[in-house]
Chain A
Amino acid sequence: MLRFMVRRLFTLIPVMFGVTLVIFFLSYISLGDPVRAMMGQRGDPEVIAQIRQDYGLDLPFYQQYTRYLGNLLQGDLGRSYRLQRRVSEMIIERLPATLRLATAAMLLAVVCGCTAGILAALRPSSWIDHLVMVVSLFGISTPVFWSGLMLILLFASQWRWFPISGYGDGGLWHLILPAITLGALQTGYIARMTRSSLRDVMHQDYMQTARAKGLREHIIICKHGLKNAAIPVVTVMGISFADLLTGAPLTETIFAWPGIGRMMVSAVGNRDFPVVMGCTLVFALVYVMANLVVDMLYTWLDPRIRYDQKA
């Protein structure tokens, strides 16, 4: 297991190198001049040249990139053009809000999605099964920015159960609507995958054997069924976590949630490239790590998968 983890971590190096290269390349080829944007059209050319020199923007590509990579290895993501603050500090400030939202959404998706999927799988072709399939299909097909607006309209504006937007004092009340918005899509995916995977497993020979042994149905389902049905579900959860990150900028913008997604959207509007690059890098890093965790979970769920043995 340890060898697999180390090997898997090593495979991340070229991917993360590629990620930094893509991010830096985007910033390098960006058509707008950030210094010009910062200073305005009437900025003094000498001052502009000085700022370009200070930020290393006058250097050739490879020098700028190696400088960026060197700084990155020291945890330095640069300074915001607009706020003159360290990007790493800004991200550290905002990341907990994004992770809080993503974790709540994921928790909601896993609990609701798995429960709905199990109920549907245990009663094939029943009204529960049809209801789960239809609701999950709508969940998958509804864009987060529209479902967010509709939740605000119903639960915050019409019925006034929840606040319209904002972080508040960090309490649960402000978290519920954004988490439902962000988690709805994933709930749909997880419910469909749990249903399909558990239905496959229910007809396996070992399930019949467990029944023949006289085990109670709930023990058969929990101990033998769910664990064996879990691998495809875990895969979907990994993909779902990645999708959560995709939805984060939109959800955070709708609910004025102070996370890095919203910070990134503002930074793009302000052409604040160090902030855009920093946020993109953090999103990519979390995404890659989520996939790594999924790989680790496989070995726990299915002991037949032994990554540390050569095939």
Chain B
Amino acid sequence: MTPLRQHPSLLTGTILLLALLLTAIFAPWLTSSDPYLAAPWESLKPPQWSHPLGTDWLGRDIWSRVAHGARVSLQVGLMVEAIAVVIGVWVGALAAYYGGVFDILLMRLTDTFMAFPSLVLAIALMAVFQQPGLLNVIIVLSVLGWTPIARVVRGSVLGTKEQDFVHAIRAMGAGHGRVLFRHILPNCFAPIIVTATIGIAGNIVAEAGLSFLGFGTQPPTVSWGTMLAQGRNYLTVKPWVCIFPGLALMLTVLGFNLFGDGLRDVFDPRTRIAEKHRG
């Protein structure tokens, strides 16, 4: 509990993320209405006791849809980042460890991917698929998401591989695989975790953005981005249709950003010490 008490951002981020996680897991039990069930006679009802966040134009309960939307957001955010971490760690570690032409080629590949504004390339990639959908969103965002991890891992491995303990392990006869995966990479764990945490927030926003434009998750799957896109038509007359899915999205991103910032402070005590001296 000590790190949580010492770092308000980590504590706030943890609370927000726990709330999100619990909402996603227990969505069917936390909501009384079916998120897919249309009830036209209850169309566009403002927030009230039976519908805490109101209803949409088909009379569907917005709280129920927001809670089930958390599942999709979390699923995309975590799955994409898991794939991105696997690719990024391999690319970054191999480039830094072996160096030379291998490093140049892999880093030019990373540079090429980083030369695109991420959402622009994601939109272009979505054009490749005939049918947009959740799986395609995960594929596209994974293809794009590994570059920051690769850069971070490369930097960390470059710094670690020349340290004395690595030379000692090599002198003891350890093979490349053992040196890299058992001794160097575990020392790069902290920056990977911080980058991945902030990456999850980026993935969730990207999924919502793609869905908002119509290239991401498609109805009937519930996504916050799709809810916002469909609710836009009622924005000026029944604003709650747009307010709550966006608020959920913002709080989620805020949670991951705070959690990531807090982790960075925990893993890098220099930041905290510098803050104390300056403050």
Binding site for B on A (CB under 8 A): 14-16, 18-19, 21-23, 26, 29-32, 124-125, 137-138, 140-146, 149-150, 152-153, 157, 164, 199-200, 202-203, 242-243, 245-250, 253-254, 261, 264-265, 267-269, 271, 273, 276-277, 279-280, 283-284, 287-288
Could you pull out 26 A-B pairs where Cβ atoms are within 8 angstroms?
A: A22-B112, A22-B121, A26-B124, A141-B253, A143-B209, A143-B250, A145-B228, A145-B246, A146-B249, A150-B246, A164-B236, A200-B274, A203-B278, A247-B119, A249-B213, A250-B119, A250-B212, A261-B120, A265-B213, A268-B123, A271-B127, A279-B120, A280-B121, A280-B124, A284-B115, A287-B115
Q: Give the docked Cα–Cα distance between A153 and B113 (Å).
A: 36
Given A273-B127, A287-B117: A149 and B232 within 8 A (CB)? yes
Binding site for A on B (CB under 8 A): 108-109, 111-113, 115-121, 123-130, 201, 205, 208-209, 212-215, 225, 228, 232, 235-236, 239, 242-243, 246-247, 249-250, 253-254, 257-258, 274, 277-279
Is B209 within 8 A of A18, CB to CB? no
Is A149 within 8 A of B124, CB to CB? no
Q: Give the docked Cα–Cα distance between A136 and B253 (Å).
A: 13
Identify which of B129, B213, B249 gathers the most chain A CB atoms within 10 Å of its CB.
Answer: B213
Identify which of A26, A153, A246, A247 gathers the most chain B CB atoms within 10 Å of its CB.
Answer: A246
> Told that A23-B124, A143-B209, A145-B228 touch, could you supply 7 new A-B pairs with CB distance under 8 A?
A18-B115, A26-B127, A124-B279, A143-B250, A149-B235, A248-B117, A287-B117
Q: Give the docked Cα–Cα distance between A81 and B242 (Å).
A: 35
Which residue of chain A is the closest to B251 with respect to CB atoms?
A141
Neighbour of B235 across the interface among A152, A199, A271, A280, CB < 8 A = A152
Is A276 within 8 A of B127, CB to CB? yes
Which residue of chain A is the closest to B118 with respect to CB atoms?
A246
A58–chain B nearest beta-carbon distance, Å: 20
Is B208 within 8 A of A249, CB to CB? no
Neighbour of B116 across the interface among A138, A268, A280, CB < 8 A = A280
Neighbour of B253 across the interface among A125, A143, A254, CB < 8 A = A143
Q: Give the docked Cα–Cα distance between A23 and B249 (Å).
A: 31
Is A15 within 8 A of B213, CB to CB? no
Neighbour of A15 across the interface among B108, B128, B130, B250, CB < 8 A = B108
Is A30 within 8 A of B258, CB to CB? no
Neighbour of A268 across the interface among B127, B236, B242, B277, CB < 8 A = B127
Is A137 within 8 A of B130, CB to CB? no
Is A157 within 8 A of B112, CB to CB? no
Identify which of B125, B127, B209, B250 gathers the most chain A CB atoms within 10 Å of its CB.
Answer: B127
